[in-house]
């Protein structure tokens, strides 16, 4: 089959959950004998390469205006896809899914992946939230086949739109090789002596709660926050200012490749204080390194099925601080780590996810 992909900012090494999903998924689909063209958004691509691990990249214009970026880019992608004549047009995320009816009217077979209710993110205003809800409806109503990444999203779509969907979650790649410590040394951080969070600097990731909880802890551990804002905002500036007041806090900016592997591999505790997640890739990545994790009790995180002590009440700074102090008293041995790694390897293997995605494509074509 020939598959045309849109809805992502691009690959490789462009931050974001959808981006990570596509970076892992489509090279595997290519290796299974299929052709994939993936459209990137020009403002996010620093090096305009022609392909990535067999995936052909089509670099198309997108305005760097958050309210217009996805819609304008997806419109151009549909036109490009019509010229490419793929067997499948795969649209990721509910914002771009607003264009699903147009793609169908142009004769394209469309698969949509609903990565979660983006209208719950605090960065969107009232009009934008209405447009995102319309995109969710359009994808559910008009797609030939609909994919969701969690049981919660699957049930929500069924209740709201009476539409059955395919559950194809995010995955994780278990790291077999030692990642080194040179980046940690550059940051002045010692292996096993820091708490880690990996997230964009946006309100729904809850990093302000983590900073407030950490500020009140009597510890010589560091707090490493790996991430940045796609668009600098008042919130991201306030967060950086808040972090700068505590010398124990290290803000690394966006990390990819080996530096990201290093901060995951040597963290004492990984914390995800999110108010909203579609399906938590960063959490799965932390677990793939056998790390101890602590996450907010939102539905997407609860679905992973961690021990009760690894959840805290979302938005409750005192409960977050209490839970961190308690978990930091634990020491994982090699058997504990192997068990954590085995759990994610069995449930979230990217090769299985690629095969499942191809089943959906075959169903749409048929």
Strand order of the β-sheet with 35-41 is: 51-52, 55-60, 35-41, 2-6, 88-92, 110-114, 145-148, 166-167
pLDDT tens sequence across 177-198 = 667 899 999 999 999 999 999 9
DSSP strand pairing (88-92 vs 110-114) = parallel
Residue 145 shares a structural domain with residue 222: no
Residues 121 and 140 occupy one common structural domain: yes
What backbone torsions phi and psi does residue 197 show, to the nearest 5 degrees? -130, 140
What integer pLDDT is reported at residue 64 of this predicted model? 83
Residues 53 and 144 in one domain: yes
Output the pLDDT for position 125.
78
The pLDDT confidence band at residue 121, using thresholds 50, 70 and 90, is confident
> How many domains would you assign to the chain?
2
- In this structure, the answer to whether residues 153 and 212 fall within a common structural domain is no
14: left (phi over 0), alpha (psi -120 to 50) or beta: beta
Longest CA pairwise span in the chain (Å): 62
The model carries a pTM of: 0.85
Same domain, yes or no: 360 and 305: no
**Tell me, what's the pLDDT at 176?**
67
Indicate whether 18 and 137 sit together in one domain: yes
CATH, residue 330: 3.40.50.2000
pLDDT in tens, 8-28: 999 998 988 899 999 999 999
Percentage with pLDDT > 90 across the chain: 84
Quote the percentage of the chain above a pLDDT of 70.
99
Side-by-side strand order, sheet with 249-253: 249-253, 222-226, 194-198, 269-272, 293-296, 311-312
| Lowest pLDDT segment from 52-56, 128-132, 294-298 | 128-132
> What's residue 126's pLDDT?
83
Q: Which two tokens stand for residue 327?
A: 């978990």
Residues 135 and 18 reside in one and the same domain: yes
* Mean per-residue pLDDT, 296-316: 95
Q: Are 188 and 244 members of one domain?
A: yes
Is 294 in the same domain as 151? no
pLDDT at 278 over 90: no
| Residue found under tokens 């677990």 | 287
Mean pLDDT of the chain: 93
Same domain for 147 and 216 = no
Same-domain check for residues 32 and 156: yes
Task: Output 129 or 55, whichever has higher pLDDT.
Answer: 55
pLDDT tens-digit map of 212-265? 999 989 999 999 999 998 778 899 999 999 999 999 999 999 998 899 999 999
Cβ–Cβ < 8 Å for 211, 246: yes
């Amino acid at each position: 089959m020939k598959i045309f992909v849109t809805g992502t900012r691009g690959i490789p090494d462009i931050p974001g959950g959808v981006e990570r999903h596509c970076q892992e998924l489509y090279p595997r689909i290519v290796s299974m004998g299929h052709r994939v063209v993936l459209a990137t958004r020009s403002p996010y691509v620093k090096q305009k390469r022609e392909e990535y691990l067999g995936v052909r990249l089509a670099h198309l214009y997108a305005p760097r205006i958050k309210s217009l970026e996805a819609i304008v880019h997806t419109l151009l992608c549909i036109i490009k896809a019509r010229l490419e004549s793929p067997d499948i047009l795969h649209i990721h995320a509910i914002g771009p899914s607003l264009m699903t009816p147009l793609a169908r009217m142009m004769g394209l077979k469309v698969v949509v992946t609903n990565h979660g209710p983006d209208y719950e993110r605090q960065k969107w205003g009232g009009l934008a939230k209405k447009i995102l809800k319309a995109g969710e409806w359009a994808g559910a109503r008009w797609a030939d086949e609909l994919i969701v990444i969690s049981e919660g999203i699957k049930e929500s779509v069924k209740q709201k739109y009476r539409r059955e969907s395919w559950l194809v979650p995010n995955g994780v790649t278990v790291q077999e090789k030692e990642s080194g410590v040179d980046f940690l040394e550059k940051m002045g951080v010692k292996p096993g002596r820091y708490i880690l969070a990996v997230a964009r600097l946006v309100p729904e990731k809850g990093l302000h709660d983590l900073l407030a909880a950490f500020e009140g802890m009597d510890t010589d551990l560091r707090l490493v926050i790996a991430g940045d804002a796609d668009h600098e905002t008042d919130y991201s500036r306030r967060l950086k200012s808040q972090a700068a007041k505590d010398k124990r806090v290290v803000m690394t900016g966006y990390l990819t490749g080996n530096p990201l592997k290093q901060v995951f591999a040597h963290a004492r505790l990984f914390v995800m204080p999110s108010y909203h997640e579609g399906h938590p890739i960063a959490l799965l990545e932390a677990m793939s390194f056998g790390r101890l994790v602590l996450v907010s009790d939102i539905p997407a995180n609860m679905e992973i099925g961690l021990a009760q002590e690894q959840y805290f009440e979302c938005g409750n700074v005192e409960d977050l601080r209490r839970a961190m102090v308690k978990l930091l008293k634990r020491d994982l041995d090699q058997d504990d780590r192997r068990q954590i790694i085995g759990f994610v390897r069995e449930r979230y293997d990217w090769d299985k996810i690629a095969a499942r995605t191809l089943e959906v494509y075959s169903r749409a074509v048929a």
